[in-house]
A and B are shown apart, each in its own frame.
Chain A
């Protein structure tokens, strides 16, 4: 019982492993049979990549490998050795959120938020390829991701809003910019 989350492939010794995680060169040693999700969470500093099922059924663990969405729970780390890996942590530019991150917050795409990282990386890949997707294209893109909270509708709203932002090149504010003044004057 409950043992399938271990790799079935026997491990040889620790091997060295390098990749580029969120644009930063990363190297470490891993057991040769390590699963990418474990490496990312335990060593790669990406706790944002979530584990929901281990069976390729929920999509929470999705990351981009060289720009293409992959379920990291079903990916052997060795397979993607040397690749460019993007996780949810790599979507924003400093404190400037990616439009889809901004709209997920704004349009209710995220409730409990556990499925969110998976959705975000998949959608960012979609928008990179097709900044103006129609309903069908959006649905097809996220068909591998389960969300138990939102019923998907507000996720689709978020994607559309993000697409709008990207098409119109709207600038997203730096989240560290000053907040409201508690001592305002008044307009007549």
Chain B
């Protein structure tokens, strides 16, 4: 301020600015008054809060949150100015190409590069000898190398790489490199991975499970399943086979490595998780992390497929180091399938038991998952296949055995809905079957078995907000369920499926020591008034930059055109764990809010000094800070900012987020633990051509509880996009392998991603449960929405045809085979005469309905009450809700290691426990 005296009793004339300020000018020269419809009731506004207050209520300025917002980087994307991996063109660049193994499993005996070196234009060649250190996304399973050290483990595995002046020369050099292999016996059937093998695919050194290819095994027993099953009156049993699927992002992997004259490496890569690459590069190149800058380019789709540190990224760095020139490696579509990391091919056995009260007294799951050649996120995936279907229902007992095996295929990894998708499909289809056996409506069955808000699941996960009930009720109504279910003619059906997913993972993968926050966001504001956000959150198209910008904009009362997000480089952004496990909105927006709150405090203080009004009376609105009672007493944002800057120059702040302490202590208790969970319920309506087995999805009603839709446009986009991806998996997508183990369809012609014509109308329904810890109430919306579409379609196919297909995808020929089979069994010659499933409600239906409505009241009470009394899973079965089951009944003891009785007759994946775990090889 030039003259403090002028400021006394500062009252601004309407429409008049007392003086212009450096950096001012531009459009919208008048501030909009706060729209009281957007201000929560708790703050004196009119925004109805049926779910109670939220701790972020005082921060609402009505600027940005909850408004459909174009992605802040969308203008780059629509003009072709967005630079993805292969668009980074540095001067003097070389083109890198990779020599890949033609064998499924082989020992590399020798590599002769002499001819390739001679070729004009070849500048550098690297082999496994150039990078001996292993890496991997999880610190416990670093089983990958830049290039083969001793063995190649799948067709397409990296053996060597070349950098040359152009593509043609590089490819020619690849051809000239002669590799001598000793071919080993490969395994392709995941069941074989459970056996002892003469040459296990990985030697795990200190620790391994027998001589087998079992990479990870899990045994979990919660509650006494033996005692529960005899009570059951309905039992579902199924054996599922899920084909592997690939993310199918449109941008193939690409990377550019460049060592600058000071000897620092910049790696340009479309990564979801720059921080893990950062670490892996340091390991492999044997340089400290501060010598590396990982630059995240625009990412042309991730879905989990760009979240491992990749060997080709190491190769580019090694080649660039050797050649002294920038090196660019770009994959073609086939290579994308060779690195894969898609959803695991899985064999899942699902048993569900329900008692005469329609309670789910037992769930038993056995999941064998095919990890392919590398561990990737496998530890986590193995757990997720079990623990992520212990909610939203209250269970009497839960038993899970899971195993992940190495096979000689491209590695499986994390893909949208990580580890939860296949087993969720099996559970939800199982529930449909249970409902049919009990002659009740499947939606009612679900509504009568939901966990309440602020409860603990059987595995000890802390459920906070839960919008499951609302999701179910909304899709039921929107889809006109009661008029359609079991009432549509043969070949036309409707089905329901639900989902439950983590909103951020409670346990950061790489925090050793486990002391850092999960997410950190920095803000910088200088005299121009624009806000620079530094975050390491990787925008992969899901709109994380936008959500972080919106959060800051909301707190500071600014339009988005005054916010710029800098999230690309590890040199400038605070460390972030990356875009996986649906953590970004929850964690980064929370961190952004705390950073913005600091700036807000400074601004309010400055405004209070200028206007001589107590801070408590001031509110932030559209680019102005003013007295709640009298808007004329106030200052512009820029005035307050300049005042706040007087002593210290630019305002900076740092905010961070860490998860609260939660969960239990048994082995594996942290897997699946999250600060909040999302819920969803979908109804799908399908047509099945009974004479060809062809399924067409007509319409989907998709309700998802995302806590609070910060950007409804994006939430809807995520829901519809998830439907699209899930529909691919359930109806057409499949990585097909020949009997000899060859991948038959590494291209987008034979790997069938739904086109516009296969896409039904999706009606996204946003449910807002207002999570108390979420940023403005928000939870995830990126992965959870994928889960319900698979079972909804499977159940709809059953409703249409009376046939349960337990092998995905449900292609025409697969379904037709089942139709034929059924015709034969029923001795019906024309499939159009097959019986249609029907439903006449049993007495249980009314029992369930009244339980559901009682529970609905209970839930609302729990949400609104100040005192949250504990509710542990098991209360529905007469246990004391205040304490976990195992603490009140010794029979409920949690077991994580099988006993001899189990081992005498293990299930498929459970048989992985036959092997003796060894801490040291050969002892």
**CB within 8 Å of B: which residues of A?**
1-6, 46-55, 57-58, 60, 87-89, 91-92, 97, 101-102, 104-108, 110-117, 120, 139, 142-143, 145-154, 175, 177-188
Question: Is A148 within 8 A of B100, CB to CB?
Answer: no
A80 to B203, CA, bound (A): 55
CB proximity of B67 to chain A, nearest CB, Å: 12
A106 to B15, CA, bound (A): 31
Residue B81 is within 8 A (CB to CB) of chain A in the complex? yes
A2 to B54, CA, bound (A): 54
Q: A120-B78, A151-B721 are in contact. Are A146 and B31 (CB under 8 A)?
A: no
Kindly list chain A residues whose C-beta atoms are within 8 Å of the C-beta of B100.
Answer: 1-2
Question: Is B80 within 8 A of A117, CB to CB?
Answer: yes
Interface string of B526-552 (1 = CB under 8 A from A): 001110000000001111000000000
A58 to B250, CA, bound (A): 8
User: Who on chain B is nearest to A5 by CB?
Assistant: B332
Please tell me which one of the listed residues A54, A145, A183 contacts residue B332 in the complex, with CB atoms under 8 A apart. A54
Ranked nearest first, the 5 interchain pairs of A and B with the lowest CB-CB distance are: A48-B80, A112-B541, A113-B77, A114-B300, A183-B24
Kindly list chain A residues whose C-beta atoms are within 8 Å of the C-beta of B78.
Answer: 88, 97, 101-102, 104-105, 110, 113, 116, 120
Kindly list chain B residues whose C-beta atoms are within 8 Å of the C-beta of A184.
Answer: 17, 28-31, 622-624, 636-637
Question: Is B756 within 8 A of A143, CB to CB?
Answer: yes
Question: Is B632 within 8 A of A52, CB to CB?
Answer: no
A177 to B561, CA, bound (A): 12
Please tell me which one of the listed residues A48, A89, A180 contacts residue B561 in the complex, with CB atoms under 8 A apart. A180
Kindly list chain B residues whose C-beta atoms are within 8 Å of the C-beta of A105.
Answer: 70-71, 74-75, 77-78
User: Who on chain B is nearest to A1 by CB?
Assistant: B100
Q: Please name 15 pairs of A and B residues whose Cβ atoms are closer than 8 Å in the assembled complex, sorted by A.
A: A2-B334, A50-B300, A57-B333, A105-B75, A108-B70, A108-B716, A113-B78, A113-B300, A153-B720, A153-B761, A180-B27, A181-B25, A184-B28, A185-B16, A186-B15
CB proximity of A45 to chain B, nearest CB, Å: 10
A91 to B79, CA, bound (A): 8
Kindly list chain A residues whose C-beta atoms are within 8 Å of the C-beta of B541.
Answer: 111-114, 149
Kindly list chain B residues whose C-beta atoms are within 8 Å of the C-beta of A55.
Answer: 333, 747-749
**CB within 8 Å of A: which residues of B?**
12-17, 20-21, 23-33, 70-71, 73-84, 86-87, 89, 100, 102, 155-156, 167-168, 171, 247-252, 298-303, 330, 332-335, 528-530, 540-543, 558-559, 561-562, 622-624, 626, 631-632, 634, 636-639, 641, 713-714, 716-717, 720-725, 747-749, 753, 755-757, 759, 761-762
Question: Is B332 within 8 A of A2, CB to CB?
Answer: yes
Question: Is B79 within 8 A of A187, CB to CB?
Answer: no
How many contacting A-B pairs (Cβ < 8 A)?
274
Kindly list chain A residues whose C-beta atoms are within 8 Å of the C-beta of B300.
Answer: 50, 52, 112-114
Kindly list chain A residues whose C-beta atoms are within 8 Å of the C-beta of B724.
Answer: 148, 150-152
Kindly list chain B residues whose C-beta atoms are within 8 Å of the C-beta of A111.
Answer: 71, 301, 541-543, 717, 721
Kindly list chain A residues whose C-beta atoms are within 8 Å of the C-beta of B561.
Answer: 179-180
Known: A58-B250, A183-B24. 18 other contacts (CB 8 A): A6-B167, A49-B80, A55-B747, A88-B79, A92-B79, A105-B70, A114-B251, A114-B300, A116-B78, A143-B757, A148-B721, A148-B724, A150-B724, A151-B725, A153-B761, A181-B28, A183-B637, A188-B15
User: Of A113, A146, A178, which is in contact with the most chain B CB atoms at under 10 Å from its CB?
Assistant: A113
Q: A114-B250, A186-B634 are in contact. Are A54 and B24 (CB under 8 A)?
A: no
Kindly list chain A residues whose C-beta atoms are within 8 Å of the C-beta of B30.
Answer: 184-187
CB proximity of A118 to chain B, nearest CB, Å: 9
A120 to B76, CA, bound (A): 13
